Amino acid sequence: MAVILALDQGTTSSRAIVFDAQGNALAFAQREFAQYFPQPGWVEHDPYEIWTSQYATAVQALREASLTAKDVAAIGITNQRETALLWDRRTGEPLCNAIVWQDRRTAARCDALRESIGQTVSERTGLVLDPYFSATKLAWMLDRIDGARDRAARGELAFGTVDTWLVWNLTRGKRHVTDVTNASRTMLFDIHTLQWSAQLLRAFDIPESVLPEVLPCTASFGTTELFGHPIPIAGVAGDQQAALLGQAGFETGIAKNTYGTGSFLMLNTGDRVVRSEKGLLATIAYGFAPGTATYALEGSVFVTGAAVQWLRDGLRIISDSSQIESLAREVPDNGGVYFVPAFAGIGAPYWDPYARGAIVGMTRGTTRSHIARAALEAMAYQSADVIAAMEHDSGVRLHELRVDGGASKNALAMQFQADVLGAAVVRPAVIETTALGAAYLAGLHAGYWSGLEEIAQHWREDTRFTPRMDAAQRDALVERWHRAVQCSRGWAQT
């Protein structure tokens, strides 16, 4: 029985899922790994923990499915996107910890560059000049690590996002590659020409010799022999693009929201690069052949599920993330409490790297249940802000939002999302759409599936949440949310 093995390397955990020809998950394995916060606003991962946790879940998933490497038709990879790594080409040894997409250490550098190249970044990459993306992270490593810039100039170092790091290790250093979706998140890749931008490389002072080769999402990324039998690596995409594919978002106008560590909304815009007036990103949704791409509008919310983890690990008002819904249901509403989880600044549509977390509206009667409910409601408010911007930029009124990710299991959060949107929220039968999208990419290249039509037939609706709140109540709640956001903005500005 041939299967597809999907590797889903996320911000707080690595996962592996085995899928069959109908898109059903046969086995699942997950391992959390450490988060490092060496200074306020800094977020790092140990590259070895990323790799070893991902490899261990792959082995475990195959074992739990009672399968061996001979049963795997191909491997697909999806990953946290903008996280940056730099390593020695000869030894494979990282020069430092990975700098995570949430990290804000290069905010001042972005401020200094904004006037000179901000417009160029927007025009070439579809992004905004922000520490979120990889370019200034890489420049920081080259500047701050002794000898790194000279070694990079001599071609001794390799840069990559997490997908590149995984492929490097899976192939024992034989392939230094990425795909167009991950490349499009570096702030160095021209999404129109589908090539590294020489102009931006000069602006950020980055030698092209450190960069990986860019391939379509469906391609021959290499072969791994680490599982006892050769397996082709046949599909790669960043996590949010993979989730769009897992939601069968192949048609223009389909929108999805993935609730993970952060939340990421994506709207398929077809072959059109839509320039946003409201702080959204134009990005590559996928590319199936060299020189071609399908585009999307994206809104990035930096902290949603991470806020629940903070309630668990920081405040310790819950012992397990699954307890958040029952705790929030102990109260009928938020009691006037609003939680803006701007732990790493605010993403779309505000793009304020100096915003910081705030809980406002508390009284002596505020309980941990009100704070838990405010954390869940913050997921919906942040997503509603992005969708309002998305509707403005695209000219499309969304009547339905497809949702996935861990928090989509939370019925209270999804009903509130429908209420503040005034639109239906649809949860599919398979919510592991990020891993499923990676599996689809690998399977398409390997001939496991015949094409997009066959894949689209696998998508099935599980639950539909329809709005129950009247417009006046919704507007009043959203207005107070916006007041809370203003309290958090610019807090860390020097």
Tens-digit pLDDT profile for residues 203-251: 999 999 999 999 999 999 999 999 999 999 999 999 999 999 999 888 8
- Closest listed residue to residue 102, CA positions, set 347, 309, 310: 347
Q: Is residue 172 in a domain?
A: yes
- The total of other beta-carbon atoms located within 10 Å of residue 478's CB is 16
Residue with tokens 């997921």: 379
Looking at residue 395, its pLDDT comes to 83
- Among 73-77, 102-106, 252-256, 458-462, the range of highest mean pLDDT: 73-77
pTM of the model: 0.86
- Closest listed residue to residue 232, CA positions, set 343, 75, 448: 75
Looking at residue 54, its pLDDT comes to 98
Q: For 408-430, what is the mean pLDDT?
A: 93
Looking at residue 429, its pLDDT comes to 87
The CATH number of the domain holding residue 199 is 3.30.420.40
Q: Is residue 426 in a domain?
A: no
Q: How far does CA 466 lie from the centroid of its chain?
A: 26
Looking at residue 410, its pLDDT comes to 92
User: How large a percentage of the chain has pLDDT more than 90?
Assistant: 79
pLDDT grade for 185, boundaries at 50, 70 and 90? very high
Looking at residue 133, its pLDDT comes to 94
For residue range 306-334, what is the model confidence (pLDDT) as tens digits? 899 999 999 999 998 889 999 999 999 99
Residue 297 β-bridge partners = 267, 282
Q: Is residue 445 in a domain?
A: no
* Cβ atoms 114, 129 nearer than 8 A: yes
What is the spatial distance between Cα 417 and Cα 468, in angstroms, rounded to a whole number? 11
Looking at residue 432, its pLDDT comes to 83
Q: For 255-273, what is the mean pLDDT?
A: 89
Q: Which structure tokens are listed for 110?
A: 């972005």
pLDDT grade for 430, boundaries at 50, 70 and 90? confident
- The total of other beta-carbon atoms located within 10 Å of residue 90's CB is 10
Per-residue pLDDT at 201 exceeds 80 = yes
Looking at residue 96, its pLDDT comes to 96
* Cβ atoms 41, 103 nearer than 8 A: yes
What is the spatial distance between Cα 19 and Cα 150, in angstroms, rounded to a whole number? 45
Strand order in the sheet with 255-259: 281-286, 294-301, 263-270, 255-259, 400-404, 424-428, 461-465
From 165-169, 457-461, 465-469, the region with the lowest mean pLDDT: 457-461
Q: Is residue 277 in a domain?
A: no
Looking at residue 322, its pLDDT comes to 87
- Closest listed residue to residue 373, CA positions, set 324, 414, 422, 417: 324
Per-residue pLDDT at 417 exceeds 70 = yes
- Closest listed residue to residue 72, CA positions, set 9, 10, 167, 7: 7
For residue range 343-356, what is the model confidence (pLDDT) as tens digits? 988 888 888 989 99
Q: Which domain holds residue 204?
A: 3-239
Per-residue pLDDT at 1 exceeds 70 = no
For residue range 374-402, what is the model confidence (pLDDT) as tens digits? 999 999 999 999 999 988 888 878 888 99
What is the spatial distance between Cα 32 and Cα 239, in angstroms, rounded to a whole number? 17
Q: Is residue 38 in a domain?
A: yes
Amino acid at 425: V
* Cβ atoms 358, 487 nearer than 8 A: yes
pLDDT grade for 6, boundaries at 50, 70 and 90? very high
For the chain, the C-alpha Rg in angstroms (whole number) is: 21
186: left (phi over 0), alpha (psi -120 to 50) or beta: alpha
Looking at residue 43, its pLDDT comes to 94
- Closest listed residue to residue 191, CA positions, set 300, 276, 251, 271: 271
Q: Is residue 227 in a domain?
A: yes
Q: Is residue 143 in a domain?
A: yes
- Closest listed residue to residue 263, CA positions, set 161, 351, 354, 347: 347
Mean pLDDT of the chain: 93
Per-residue pLDDT at 494 exceeds 70 = no
Q: Is residue 116 in a domain?
A: yes
User: 366 Cβ partners below 8 Å, 6+ apart?
Assistant: 335, 337
- Three-state secondary structure of the chain: CCEEEEEEECCCEEEEEEECCCCCEEEEEEEECCCECCCCCCCEECHHHHHHHHHHHHHHHHHHCCCCHHHEEEEEEEECCCCEEEEECCCCCECCCEECCCCCCCHHHHHHHHHHHHHHHHHHHCCCCCCCCHHHHHHHHHHHCCCHHHHHHCCCEEEECHHHHHHHHHCCCCCCEEEHHHHCCCCCEECCCCEECHHHHHHHCCCHHHCCEEECCEEEEEEECCCCCCEEEEEEEEHHHHHHHHCCCCCCCCEEEEECCCEEEEEEEECCCCCCCCCCEEEEEECCCCCCCEEEEEEEECCCHHHHHHHHHCCCCCCCHHHHHHHHCCCCCCCCCEEECCECEECCCCCECCCCCEEECCCCCCCHHHHHHHHHHHHHHHHHHHHHHHHHHHCCCCCEEEEECHHHHCHHHHHHHHHHHCCEEEEECCCCHHHHHHHHHHHHHHCCCCCHHHHHCCCCEEEEECCCCCHHHHHHHHHHHHHHHHHHCCCCCC
Looking at residue 56, its pLDDT comes to 97
- Closest listed residue to residue 277, CA positions, set 488, 122, 381, 489: 122
Q: Which structure tokens are listed for 256?
A: 């999805």
What is the spatial distance between Cα 29 and Cα 63, in angstroms, rounded to a whole number? 10
Give the number of domains in the chain: 1
- Closest listed residue to residue 9, CA positions, set 45, 36, 62, 42: 45
